[in-house]
A and B are shown apart, each in its own frame.
Chain A
Amino acid sequence: MSQVLQRTSATGTRATKVIGALAILVMVWVVVSGLILTPQDVVQGESVRIMYVHVPSAWIAYLAFIFTAVASASWLISKKHSMGFDRFAGASAEVGVMFMAITLITGSLWGRLTWGEFWQWDPRLTTTAFLFVTYVGYLAVRRLEGSAEQRARRSAVVAMLAVLEIPLVHFSVVLWRSLHQGATVLNPNGDVKMDDLMLFTLFSGVVAFTLVFVWLVLHRQRTMLLVDIANRQGLDAAIAARKTEGSVR
């Protein structure tokens, strides 16, 4: 088959190649700048370098989950129930879970250096952990047996409720602060004085991760479309086979 001989990916286009190349370039810049060019922090020393991968990762994860909720809402609202929305929601959630995992791991390593512990039960870390588990659950719901429409419906409901978790637990963060006067909300990058290069590197990190997000979601979504088509074709073939069986008898 000619597809096997193609060097390019089956879901690739010129756009994804450009985005991919840009993502690699910016990422290289972020790594070089983050590890070598930027100065160390007055308070935190070298450990601040983890910020350049941890913070963008967290932001893109949140972004991904919000996209999932918006896409799910769009699916629910659209009269035709266009499956593209559902596939986008699923792809975005997958990438979001990956970035959330990166956030939790890098955050934990950063915490070990700044607070001396891998984990703290402060509101922000607790939120993040819950969000991660919630969206792992979302992905599990997507893999339940059923038609593509059932998958879309179930996961849309879960996504829209899951995203409510974000403001709800943030509300309790405010509550926690007001009730537990002693508790400090641990913030590794709260006391970092950022000079221009550090800010620019952080900004570049966000750009790089966004490009990665777009690239991954495009490929995932197209793959999901292929899988859905293949499943439908398989189903059609099975139905046709049954029909011929019936007519032969």
Chain B
Amino acid sequence: MKSDSSMPVSKGKVVTAVFLKDVQIELRSRVVTNQVLPFAGLVMVMFAFALDNDDVLQRVAGGLVWLATLFSLLIIVQRSFAIDTADGALDSLRVAGIELSAVFFGKAIALAAKLVALEMVLIFSALVLYRVDVSAIGVVLLVTCVFCATSGLAFVGTLYGGLTAGAKGRETLLPLLLLPVVAPVLIAATRATEAAFGSGGAQTSEGWAWIGLLAVFAAVFGVGGSLAFGSLIDE
């Protein structure tokens, strides 16, 4: 990034620049499209093999979508930070005096974009493979759920990705750290998705309370993550 050291770069510009950089890297390496999406699709198929019962699959479809999302999240985060630390990109950002919370948001938004693409595919797979239906109001609920859940996951993923990136032995820590923390998202997103799908007689009205929880989670980690990210990279 070219920047005159006497003129501070606006936070908005930093966020946009980091976001575009991450998106460009993805477009060039096509990790998500070529590796993660097939993996996620495969996971959905394997669930079907393991559970082998149409009624059961329809009932648990919501949960399976978000489980597959979480597993894929681990891969995406590790990959994203592996690239950054391999080139020392994070270090040079820090040295350049860039506002690190802006870097956090830039990376989180890029991660969110990848996640949304992933979740769209997974929900579509559920509709097709597990034969769930969605009503019109269910679609609204589903979209809101995806937005709120993805925000939370992106913030947490970026934060813990930053923490565990780099030295050998740190990447394997990511699943252990990340999964317990995102458990509330798994629970809430599953309940909301089940409400949208109408699984087990769930009403769409029941889903909105869970959306509230997702929003709170996203807010907490958005704020907390941006504050903490700087000090974690500052090593």
User: Measuring CB to CB, which residues of chain A are less than 8 angstroms from any residue of chain B?
Assistant: 76, 130, 133-134, 136-137, 140-141, 144-146, 150, 153-154, 157-158, 160-162, 164-165, 168-169, 171-172, 175, 178-179
User: Measuring CB to CB, which residues of chain B are less than 8 angstroms from any residue of chain A?
Assistant: 159, 163, 167, 169-170, 173, 176-177, 179-181, 183-184, 187-188, 191, 206, 209-210, 213, 216-217, 220-221, 224, 228, 231-232, 234-235
Cβ B163 vs Cβ A158 within 8 A: yes
CB neighbours (8 Å) of B213 from chain A are: 168, 171-172, 175
- Bound-state CA distance A168–B220 (Å) is 10
Q: Which are the 3 A-B pairs with shortest beta-carbon distances?
A: A157-B228, A134-B180, A137-B177
Q: Give chain B nearest CB distance to A170 CB in angstroms.
A: 11
Query: Of the candidates B159, B169, B181, which one forms a contact with A162 in the assembled complex, judged by CB atoms under 8 Å apart?
Result: B181
B179, B181, B184, B221, most chain A CB atoms within 10 A: B181
Cβ B180 vs Cβ A133 within 8 A: yes
Cβ B184 vs Cβ A168 within 8 A: yes
Cβ A141 vs Cβ B173 within 8 A: yes
- Bound-state CA distance A141–B174 (Å) is 10
Name the prevailing secondary structure of the A interface residues: helix
- Bound-state CA distance A145–B173 (Å) is 12
Residue of B nearest to A145 (CB): B167
- Bound-state CA distance A179–B188 (Å) is 12
Cβ B163 vs Cβ A157 within 8 A: yes
- Given A157-B232, A169-B184, the answer on whether A141 and B163 have CB atoms closer than 8 Å is yes
CB neighbours (8 Å) of B170 from chain A are: 144-145
- Given A153-B231, A157-B163, A168-B217, the answer on whether A140 and B181 have CB atoms closer than 8 Å is no
Cβ A160 vs Cβ B209 within 8 A: no
Query: Of the candidates B173, B187, B209, which one forms a contact with A137 in the assembled complex, judged by CB atoms under 8 Å apart?
Result: B173
- Bound-state CA distance A135–B151 (Å) is 24
Q: Give chain B nearest CB distance to A72 CB in angstroms.
A: 11
CB neighbours (8 Å) of A130 from chain B are: 180, 183
Cβ B228 vs Cβ A140 within 8 A: no
CB neighbours (8 Å) of A134 from chain B are: 180-181
Residue of B nearest to A132 (CB): B180
- Given A141-B163, A144-B170, A145-B169, the answer on whether A158 and B177 have CB atoms closer than 8 Å is yes
Cβ A161 vs Cβ B210 within 8 A: no
Cβ A144 vs Cβ B173 within 8 A: yes
- Given A133-B176, A168-B184, A168-B216, the answer on whether A153 and B232 have CB atoms closer than 8 Å is yes
CB neighbours (8 Å) of A164 from chain B are: 220, 224
Q: Give chain A nearest CB distance to B61 CB in angstroms.
A: 19
Cβ B184 vs Cβ A172 within 8 A: yes
Residue of A nearest to B210 (CB): A175
- Given A144-B167, A154-B163, A172-B213, the answer on whether A137 and B176 have CB atoms closer than 8 Å is yes
- Given A153-B235, A160-B224, A169-B184, the answer on whether A179 and B209 have CB atoms closer than 8 Å is yes
Q: Give chain A nearest CB distance to B134 CB in angstroms.
A: 20
CB neighbours (8 Å) of A137 from chain B are: 173, 176-177, 180
B183, B188, B234, most chain A CB atoms within 10 A: B183
